[in-house]
Structures are given as C-alpha cells and as structure tokens.
Structure 1
Amino acid sequence: MRLIPLLTAIAVAAGLYFLVFERDDLLAFARGETAEDTAAATASDAPTNPESTAQLASQNRIGVVALRSEARPLDSAVILRGQTQAARQVEVLAETTSTVISEPLRKGAQVKAGDLLCELDPGTRQATYHEAKARLIEARSRVPEAEARLVEAQARLRESQINLVAAQKLSEGGYASETRLAAAEATERSAVAGVETAKGGLEAARAGIEAAQAAVAAAETEIARLTITAPFDGLLESDTAEVGSLLLPGSLCATVIQLDTIKLVGYVPETEVNRIDVGARAGAELANGLRVQGEVSFVSRSADPTTRTFEVEILVGNADLRIRDGQTADIAISAEGTKAHKLPQSALTLNNDGRLGVRIVREDKTAGFELIDLLRDTADGVWVAGLPDTADVIVVGQDFVTEGVAVEPTYREAGQ
C-alpha cells in the first residue's frame, strides 16, 4: 500500500473538518489571532449592546461576489435527436409475369412521374386482346337480332289475344265451338311463352356484350402492366431490373425515393409532447453541420410501447438535394417561451439534500438558497428558471456560505 495517497487523504479530511466544524478558529488563525484572543474578544462583547452586536456582525461578514441578474424572455425550445427520412419511398413491383425487354436505368438517376422503368415482353397478350375485341363485336351484333325476335313475339302475342277475345264472344253467342275457343287460348299461351323466350334471348345478348367488354378490359389491363412507370418525381435508389430477367407478380422493378421535400423524424418524451403543435417552427443541425428549418407536420397520438415516446415529423425543403436520407439531426422545436436568468455555470451549487440551485444575497445581507430548473446549456452560460425577476446571485464564494450566513457582497456586471 502506498503511503503518500493515504497521507494526502488524511490531510484533505483534516482540512475539511476544520473548514466545516472549526470555521471560527480557522478564520481567527488566518487573521493571526490565537484561540485565547478570540475567546477574550467574544467575552468582551458578551453584553447585549445593539451597537456592539451590529459591529461584530459587520466584522464577521464573509465577502462574496454577486451578479445582479434580471429575468429575460427565453424561447424554450423542445430539443430532441432524430434523423432525416425521404418524404416518399416506393418499391415499384411487377404485377404480371414476363421478361424485361428494356435497358436498365442505373441508381441515382432522376426520373419524372410516368417515366418508363421496366418494359416487359407482351407475348401473346396482343392476340388475346384482339380476340376479346372480336368477341365484343360479335356480341354486339346479336343484340339487334334478339330485339327483332322480341318484337315479333310481342306481335304474335297481340294477335293471339285478339283471336282469343273474338273466340270467347262467339262462344258466348253460340256461334263458335268450345274446340275453337280452346285452340285460341292455347295459341295465346304459346305467344306469351314466345315473348318470354325472346326477352331471355335479348338479355343473354346483352350479357354477352358485358362479358366481352370485361374480357377486353382485362386484356387492356394486362397489356398496361407490361409498362412499369415511375409513380412520382424522384431518384432511383436501386438499378431497374436487368434486360432478360424474369419478373413475377411482386418482383422488384426499382426503388424510387422523393427527396425534394424531406422529413426530419424524431421522438419526444411524454413529458414534452404537449408543448409541440402541428405547424410550429423547427430547426435542425445535421451531422455535417448543415442547418435547416421547417414546420412540424405530424405529432403522433400513440406512444411507442417500448420507449413511451411520441413520433414527430418535420417537413423541410430540399430542392437542391443537399440533405440525404438517413442523416442524424439535432432538432429544436419552438414552444411557448418563459422568463429565465442567464448565469455562469460556476454559480450552480447543491444544497444539503443534493438539489441543484444557486446562492443569493437577500435584502438583509444574508445568504440564501433558491432551487432552480435548468432550461438550456450554452457555451457562455446556462439559462435557469425558478428565481424572482430580479435576483442577486452569488457567483464567487457560494460554496463558503450557507443559509442565513451574513455576507458582504461585491457586485459585478453581467458581462464580466
């Protein structure tokens, strides 16, 4: 065991003991007085003379340096860390089975909405389409014939109905036999059946037209699927499918991303989410030093079940494509401001309970302790809340005084 660290620890402990528990004797020793002189001075001033007490208190005040701080408005931004994300990213997939016959486009190429990405071999699809068109023409030609049959059947029905009425009247007057009446009734029923049959034929002809039209539409859709185009303006994130490769339904033709508008995506804790509104201004600094600004476009209403944080999206213009997908970003979202004091970091201290605060000079020239909330840390100081609008904050000597200790402050300007 080394001896020097042990002796150092003993010396530090002894120094702390005398500083805390033997403060008066230590100060007297520093002034060159002995313990007997201090005791004699205390005994001589023992009478309760107000003037002597005030003089003694003035002599025992501890000198400190204080800063008279005025509260100022502070835009209390919500700070979070996130990353950039493409506004849109789509994997363009094939919807039919065929081989690629177009030359591939290489990743990084810019495409416009509707530009050809992959063209597939039509095969027998054109023949299928022409066959469906022919069937449609044939089905349409059957409709006039069916309509003519219906008109003819309806005329026969009217004729049979007239003959039936005549036979009934003659039979009632005894001028026609029952056999003739029965024959007229049978003819009328046959004409009714003929009308129904003609109507069914007309409906079948019309259904044939609809079936043929559906076949034509299916053939046209199948042919349209042979041409795979870009869904929006963007960049190719991958090469398009190579010529000669076989694509099946769901096979990847290309990946297109949109970067002219980009999203900043971050996650805010549940204690801060209510401070963020859609449309709020936001700024971010990327890992490469680039600074951008935008507006909050989305605040999630559902927390992540693992982290209990809420997703926030910010839209940022990126016409020059300087921002890439997936870059790290430090995001600051503007929120409702508050009044705060800007103090040097050295002014912060802890009380006996370990809580953060500052020592202040009260009106009776005694030291006090005020709890503070740390709002923002900057290179030239910290912004804190929890103090009165005007406060004399001890910036030098705060660690040598406690609550109620008499002090003799020396004030300095805020810029010093």
Structure 2
Amino acid sequence: MKLNTSYLSAAGIFVAVVLLFTLGTVFRSDAVTESDASAGDQPLFEVVTRTVTAAPRPAELRLRGRTEAIRAVTVRAETGGRVVEAPILEGSPVSAGDVVCRLDVDARGAAVDQAEAELRTRQLEYDAAAELLARGHRSANQVAAAEAVRDAARAQLRAAREELANIELRVPFDGYFDGRDAEIGDFLRTGDACGTVLQLDPILIIAEVAERDVGSLQPGMPGTARLLSGQQVDGTIRFVERRANPATRTFRVELEVPNPDGAIRSGVTAEIRLNLAPEPAHRVPASILALDSNGDLGVRIIEDGDTVRFLPIELLSDDGEQVWISGLPETADVIVLGQDFVSDGTRVEVRPEGAGR
C-alpha cells in the first residue's frame, strides 16, 4: 500500500523541526556555560577606601533669634486727670523717678489742705481729752475714742497726699522712654497709658530650641551671638523654659548680654551660638555621602574585607568639603572613590587610599 505523498512530507517536516530544536538547545546550553565561565574569570570592581576613626567633635548649637529688652513697662495713670506736662522726649534715656506725664492738680490740692486742717482739729481734741483724763474729768474710753478719730484724720490726710502725688507719672527704673501714648491736653482715666519705658542693660537675645536639644542647655552656660549688623557679642544663658510651646513644641531660651551704652536695640535679628559638650563623631569628605533607594542619607563602607555595606548616618555639621557625621562604627573603612558604582552587598576589590596599584 502506497503512502500518501502529503503524509510523507508532513512527517519529514516534523522530524526536521525536532532535530533543529534539539540542536539549538544543546548549542545554547554550551554558550551559557562558556559565558558563566568567562564571567567568573572577570576581575571585581575596584574601590578606594579610607579608614576613619571616631574623634571628639566640638558640638555647637546654632539658634535663630532676636534681641529683646529685659524689661518693658507701660507707665499708667493711677488717678484720672488732664495731661498738663510731658517733659521727656521719646527715645531719651531716663532714670528711676523721672516724670514722664504730669496731670492737672484740680481739687486734689484743696483735698490735702482740708485733710490737714481736719487732722489739726482732731489732734487738739485728743490732746484736750488726754489732759482732762489726767485730771480725772474724762474716762479712758472717751480718750480712746478721740484718739481713733485723730488716727482716721491722719489716714485721710495720707490718702489725700498720695492722690496728689499720683498726678506725676514716674519712671520705675533706669532705661529709655521708648513710646508716648498721651500728649498735653489728653484726659487720662485710671489705668490709661502715658508711655513705655525699656530697660536695655543687660539686653536679652531670645530663641526657640527644639526638644532634642533643650536637655543640653543650662542657665549659666556661655554663648555668643551675631547680630544682623555683623556685631558679635558674648553673654550667658539666663533662662531655659521648662514648659514647651504647645503649638511648636519648642522651648524659649534667653541669652543675657551686657549693653551698657544701649547700642543694641530691641527686636534685632541675631544668631546664637552655644558650645555643647564634645561628642564622638567621624569627619569624612562630603563627596562620599549618598542616598539609598529609600532616600536615606548615608555612606558606603567595606565589611568582611570585600563586601559593600550602606550605613545610614546623621549629618551633624557641614564645614564645606568635610562633614561631621554619626552612625558609623568607631573605626570604619569608608569608600571614597567608586562608591557611586556599587550597591549594598556587592563584592569588590579594595585598595586603601594612598596605596599603589
């Protein structure tokens, strides 16, 4: 029986395909084996390392702040009246007791005269009662009553004199008359402001310190401040707040600075620098800093002689080409050349910095 020609053709094509597939698989297997062998013979990527050891780093805390008067008081009226005199110009230095506003006397002078006359009358009555008591014509109770009336008159006179003295609004301490709130002719009620007095010696430079840094600050610590004008001044910490600002979670710190001539004004921008206790850290080139896939800042070091490891670090300060960092072992071999071309876990060929090829 003869086979159909089409069946024979189909069988031939099938056998040819099977042979081609088999031969291709064998050849590819040989190619992969040769590629792996050649890859195993390739040299490792070379990196240059530097051995760094932790050293005490002079820690410095920098805070942005402003100057502030150590005392600022608004001089207010303790009695009502019309301003008849304002003898001190704004911005002038003042001494404790200087009058910045004087009110009209009005009837207060007459009230003092009346109180003095009343006291004289009551004093005469008391003296007469005491004399009659000595002669046996008055009882002790009558003399005590006369004495009480006299003492009341004396107290009334004292109140009248104080009311008269209150027409003069006086400066409570040495400083500067910084702002006037009342002019001649204005009527002041009790509690109304005449003006503001500032004490600028010493002056405060205030700033807000973060939670992580406040524990290292204590009153009495020295510090320096640089004003926006470029002037640098020295002082000591006067106050560190113990209760955080609920909105910012920061603490107020005050640096007290001598200001005998009042040259430093209140409200000037300043930068405070505070020296803290030294802490162990590593000083490395800024060029070796890198970011991992999560965006964390760190450096690549060598572990176990030839394996790359990425270690996250904290940047403490930047001095330009060199930076202080923390987060490394006490002694570490950091990669200073080639770190951008290797990844965590890669085996490399290590050449110490300065060593010849």
> Which TM bucket (shorter chain)?
0.7 to 0.9
Equivalent residue in structure 1 for 2:77, among 88, 91, 94: 94
Structure 2 residue identity aligned to 1:377: D
Q: Is the 8 A contact 1:367 1:405 kept in 2?
A: yes
Cα shift at 1:200? 2.5
Q: Is the 8 A contact 1:79 1:333 kept in 2?
A: yes
Q: Is the 8 A contact 2:226 2:272 kept in 1?
A: yes
Structure 2 residue identity aligned to 1:203: A
Equivalent residue in structure 2 for 1:315, among 256, 274, 287: 256
List structure 1 segments (4+ residues) > 4 angstroms apart after TM superposition. 36-42, 151-154
| CA distance 1:113–1:45, shift in 2 (3 Å) | closer
List per-residue Cα deviations over 1:102-149 (Å, max 9, x = no partner).
244322111122222112222232222122122212212222322344
Matches within 5 A, 1:101-140: 101-140=84-123
- In the other structure, the counterpart of 1:328 is 269
List per-residue Cα deviations over 1:279-306 (Å, max 9, x = no partner).
1222233333333322111111212222
Task: Quote the Cα distance in structure 2 between the aligned partners of 1:106 and 1:133.
Answer: 36
| CA distance 1:412–1:238, shift in 2 (3 Å) | farther
Task: Quote the Cα distance in structure 2 between the aligned partners of 1:99 and 1:45.
Answer: 101
Q: Percent identity?
A: 38
- In the other structure, the counterpart of 2:10 is none
- In the other structure, the counterpart of 1:232 is 173
Q: Aligned-pair RMSD on alpha carbons?
A: 2.7
- Structure 1 gap ranges (5+): 1-35, 47-55, 155-194
- In the other structure, the counterpart of 2:57 is 74
List per-residue Cα deviations over 1:41-96 (Å, max 9, x = no partner).
853797xxxxxxxxx5xx62322233333333223233332222111111111111
| CA distance 1:44–1:199, shift in 2 (3 Å) | closer
Which structure has the larger Rg? 1
Structure 1 residue identity aligned to 2:348: A
Q: State yes or no: 1:210 paired with 2:151.
A: yes
Aligned length: 325
Q: Is the 8 A contact 1:300 1:312 kept in 2?
A: yes
| CA distance 1:302–1:242, shift in 2 (3 Å) | same
Q: Is the 8 A contact 1:61 1:408 kept in 2?
A: no
| CA distance 1:323–1:405, shift in 2 (3 Å) | farther
- In the other structure, the counterpart of 2:231 is 290
Q: Is the 8 A contact 2:69 2:203 kept in 1?
A: yes
Higher deviation after alignment, 364-373 or 334-343: 364-373
Matches within 5 A, 1:294-373: 294-362=235-303, 364-373=305-314
Length-normalised TM-score, structure 1: 0.70
Task: Quote the Cα distance in structure 2 between the aligned partners of 1:92 and 1:360.
Answer: 66
Equivalent residue in structure 2 for 1:200, among 135, 138, 141: 141
Structure 2 residue identity aligned to 1:213: R
Equivalent residue in structure 2 for 1:142, among 119, 125, 139: 125
- In the other structure, the counterpart of 1:43 is 37
3-state SS in 1 of match to 2:185: coil
- Structure 2 gap ranges (5+): 1-29
